A and B are shown apart, each in its own frame.
Chain A
Amino acid sequence: MTSRSRARSLAPLLAAGLVIAASSTGSPARAAPGDSLAVRGATVHTAAGPPIEDGVVVVLDGKIHAVGPASEVEIPEGIKTVSAAVVTPGLIDAHTVVGLTGHLNQDHDQDQLERSAPIQPELRAIDAYDARERLVRWVRGFGVTTVHTGHAPGLLVSGQTLIAKTRGDTVDDAVIVPRAMLAVTLGEGALSRDEDDGPPGTRSKAVAMLRSELIRARDYRDRSDERGEPRDRDLRLEVLAAALDGEIPLMVTVHRHNDILAALRIRDEFGVRMVLDGASEAYLVTGEISRSGVPVIVHPTMKRAVGEAENLSMETAARLADAGVPLALSSGYESYVPKTRVLLFEAAIAAAYGLGAERALGAATVDAARLLGIDDRVGTLEVGKDGDLALFDGDPFEYTSHCVGTIIEGQQVSRGER
């Protein structure tokens, strides 16, 4: 996300490389520093220009080395080549909770919400992410190579998020941004479920609590500056101070139009970076969102139209895109069956409901990469980017097409037909 977190993210990757090199057993782990592979597609969507007919993508040491028509791109000798009808950049799920919410939905595999207090920004996603969770593999089988995941909506400030590749056996193998955003919820989702749970019990109370905490964090930061170092470290206020400094954005999950405007008020007051998430009624306030410049992670297109999301529309993504609002698509957060949605399926419905296939693919790749601040590494098939690709046997969005391969940094992590 920031230069600081990027620098930090390199360390675990190097460590992982060392571990794998020293280990003779283990999973089909990627060789360090990366694998090499050529991919040939009858149609290659690069998300950085028009589709290439009969295209080739060459990945060397995990990075894209060449992209172009087969007639122009030479495949280095001895390199493994895989083929598919349609090739796209690896899909990027802009907001999910896989890795924290296990597929069993039993207490022991649910780490997305710690209900002991309404504001807990100090909770790190890296301390809970299970890289081996079955649902991580599940979404990977549908072309998803990068996930923005972590603490779930459902508390005023539920904790941090991370960005990971959907590979590896440990969080260190997987993570590319260990501290991506702070998960904030406004509206009904932030309110306590019964009176015994304590505040917030109303919308106004929730906003007042958030403002108070941000002001406390500002004082903490300013006090620290005077003295050079803080008197007593406070992990909670440290994280909020980082948000005030613009190091990490607030991802505010919010559905009703009035709650969306409440979120934008917080942004104006504190100058924090913000991403709106969910945003079921965003179509009622496209002008306000557009003027604010705040990007939107649109609710899963097939999210259930119940509760405060009862007015959601399957055309929300299209309407925001038409208004020029930067957006990305997501699988969101499910607390019951199905335990996660699948980005590919959500993008397909968005495509069919006004967004169109090209913009939907963009929202699931390059636009998501930009929104998450990782577009220097992923999101398009361009030279120098990570060799992350998804392979399909037809129109990726058609129900009856299949994802026939997922490649992360040159390593085929998923094969077969799904």
Chain B
Amino acid sequence: MKIAMLLAAALVLSTIAPPVGAASDAFVGARLIPIDGEEIADGVLVVENGRILAVGDATSVSIPDGARLHEVRGRVIMPGLVDTHSHIGGPSGGDRSAPIQPEVRVLDAIDVRSAGLQRAQAGGITTVNVMPGSGHLMSGQTIYLKLRDGDTIDELAILDDEGRPRGGMKMANGTNSRRDPPFPGTRAKSAALVRQAFVSALEYRDARAREREDGTQGTDRDLGKEALLEVLDGTRVVHHHTHRHDDILTVLRLKEEFGFRVVLHHVSDAWKVADRIAAADVPCSIILVDSPGGKLEARDIAFENGAALERSGVLVGFHTDDWITDSRLFLRMAALAVRAGMTRRGALHALTMAGARMLDLEDRVGSLAAGKDADFVLLSGDPFSVYTKVLETWVEGRKVFDRREEKDRLWAVGGYGAGDPRTTELGCLDEGESR
């Protein structure tokens, strides 16, 4: 076991570590927004071997010999953005055969070469939870990705200590998952089906444990129930699509009954039940869209959700739900929350550290702190100005987006070919192609 883990770790390092002998990089002169501390007007950020080596003001941080110097005066550096809910890469989860399909993994159905991932890099997103859709009560296992430049899902996956891809479980209630049988037709039926699934998983666990003890066999392995047990033991967080106030409370009720860990997503009616959400100590990943409605259960969605939840003491994050909103403009969502009364500090936290906590990645990402992954964005100005552009995005010490590069700029701004997937050197259709 131990050897396997070491091997897995070695494999990971070989794919993500910078080339041997790479010097450190020092970013000098920018305004730093560390998130877990005060902003630093004239800051220095030093990164090495994919990690942050030092963060501080010009007088307190010494720059290592041989470091590549990046003079970035007048710019702003903040941690890479964490998108807690996205559909980039055209993921799919469960099919139409059943409303609850916990055995389905989204990692088996993502095109990591799609332009959507490049656009997310262009928006400053470095960590993302890619999810299947909300047309099921449980549509499958989500996956947490780092937006490294990679050609395979393995190169982007964030692995746990045992080398397995990390992710949560996508659930939904309300109207999206209501369909013809075998899908539920009402809200009460939706909750009943979910309760039955969890109860069955617990019975499966007990039966398997008994058989292990007795040395008997009889219960076949069930991938779906095993995934549900990961939900019930807390290793797999539920990411729960929910809009209406009563649906939100239904999620809290099920959480109370079964004890799973849950992040509420969208939460359009959050402002109506913010105190109840706070009392349940459940975090909310919210989305702000340019107008209310578009679907019946989101008719009361409000820009004020961020401020209302913040005031109630709820951990608030954001998500793009890409393509519902554009990953390239993820900063805009936080700015709109500030427009409607959320504190500037809270909105910056929501873009970064809050998301990291919701994905159990707070030890690695979400703030600029020594020892953390060197995931950060270089901005042309204040994060909340419409005129500000993401200039560079860095993941684990490597630059994955540079607005000065023609191809990167195309993804950031749009234009002919911006929707094409990342091309390969030998692609015969790409030969001699010019825009």
> Which A residues lie at the B interface, using CB under 8 A?
102-106, 134-135, 138-139, 281, 283-284, 302, 304-306, 310-316, 334, 336-342, 345, 348-349, 351-353, 397-402
Contact = CB atoms under 8 A, between A and B. Distances in A.
B289 interface: yes
A339 B292 CA distance: 7
A106 B296 contact: yes
Contacts of A334: 294
B291 A103 contact: yes
B329 A302 contact: yes
B358 interface: no
B346 to A, nearest CB: 14
B299 A284 contact: no
A312 B295 CA distance: 26
Contacts of B298: 337
B291 A342 contact: yes
B413 interface: yes
Contacts of B338: 399-400
Interface in B297-315: 298-299
B416 to A, nearest CB: 5
B416 A284 contact: yes
Interface string B361-373: 0000000000000
Contact of A310 (B292, B387, B389, B418): B418
7 contacts: A103-B294, A304-B323, A340-B291, A352-B387, A353-B413, A400-B335, A400-B339
A402 to B, nearest CB: 7
A229 B95 CA distance: 60
Interface in B401-420: 413-419
Given A314-B414, A399-B336, A399-B385, A340 B290 contact: yes
B289 A399 contact: no
Contact of A313 (B324, B387, B418): B418
A311 B335 contact: no
A311 B329 contact: no
Interface in B376-393: 384-387, 389
Given A315-B413, A349-B386, 19 more contacts: A102-B293, A103-B294, A103-B299, A104-B299, A135-B293, A138-B292, A302-B326, A305-B326, A311-B418, A313-B414, A314-B414, A316-B414, A336-B295, A337-B293, A338-B289, A338-B293, A338-B294, A352-B386, A399-B338
A316 B414 CA distance: 9
A305 B414 contact: yes
Most chain B beta-carbon neighbours within 10 Å: one of A311, A313, A399: A399
B296 to A, nearest CB: 5
B293 A341 contact: no
Top 3 A-B residue pairs of the complex, sorted by shortest distance between their CB atoms? A310-B419, A103-B293, A337-B294
A397 B387 CA distance: 9
A361 to B, nearest CB: 13
Nearest to B333: A399
Contacts of B413: 313-315, 353
B149 to A, nearest CB: 21
A267 B298 CA distance: 42
B305 to A, nearest CB: 14
Contacts of B399: none
A81 to B, nearest CB: 26
B187 interface: no
A315 B414 CA distance: 8
Contact of B293 (A105, A312, A342, A352): A105
B276 interface: no
Contacts of B417: 311
B332 interface: yes
A112 to B, nearest CB: 14
Nearest to B420: A310
B415 to A, nearest CB: 4
A373 B294 CA distance: 31
Nearest to B389: A352
Contacts of B329: 302, 349
B387 A134 contact: no
Contacts of B336: 399
A284 B415 CA distance: 9
A341 B291 contact: yes
A105 B290 contact: no
Nearest to A284: B416
A336 B294 contact: yes
Contacts of B290: 302, 338, 340-342, 345
B326 A135 contact: no
A139 B292 CA distance: 11
Given A104-B299, A351-B386, A399-B338, A135 B291 contact: yes
A35 to B, nearest CB: 28
A397 B386 contact: yes
A339 B326 contact: no
A400 B303 CA distance: 12
Contact of A399 (B299, B326, B332): B332
A305 B419 contact: yes
Contacts of B385: 398-399
A349 B412 CA distance: 13
A337 B294 CA distance: 4
Choose among A314, A334, A342 the residue with the greatest number of B CB atoms under 10 Å from its CB. A314
B386 A338 contact: no
Contacts of A339: 291-294
A299 B260 CA distance: 44
A313 B289 contact: no
A406 B338 CA distance: 22
Contacts of B292: 103, 134, 138, 338-339
Contacts of A348: 386
A341 B384 CA distance: 20
Contacts of A397: 386
A338 B326 contact: no
Interface in B60-91: none
Nearest to B328: A314
Contacts of A349: 329, 386
Contacts of B324: 337
Contacts of A345: 290
A342 B324 CA distance: 15
Nearest to B415: A313
Contacts of A314: 413-414
A283 B413 CA distance: 13
Given A348-B386, A399-B336, A305 B418 contact: yes
A311 B293 contact: no
Contacts of A302: 290, 326, 329
A314 B339 CA distance: 23
A341 B326 CA distance: 13
B295 A337 contact: yes
Contacts of A316: 414
B293 to A, nearest CB: 3
A105 B419 contact: no
B418 A399 contact: no
A106 B417 CA distance: 35
Nearest to A307: B419
Given A104-B299, A106-B296, A399 B416 contact: no
A352 B387 CA distance: 5
A397 B339 CA distance: 12
A96 B290 CA distance: 14
A353 B412 CA distance: 11
B345 to A, nearest CB: 14
B268 to A, nearest CB: 10
B381 to A, nearest CB: 11
Contact of B339 (A103, A311, A399): A399
A338 B291 contact: yes
A340 to B, nearest CB: 5
Among the interface residues A139, A311, A316, which one has the most CB atoms of the partner chain B within 10 A? Answer: A311
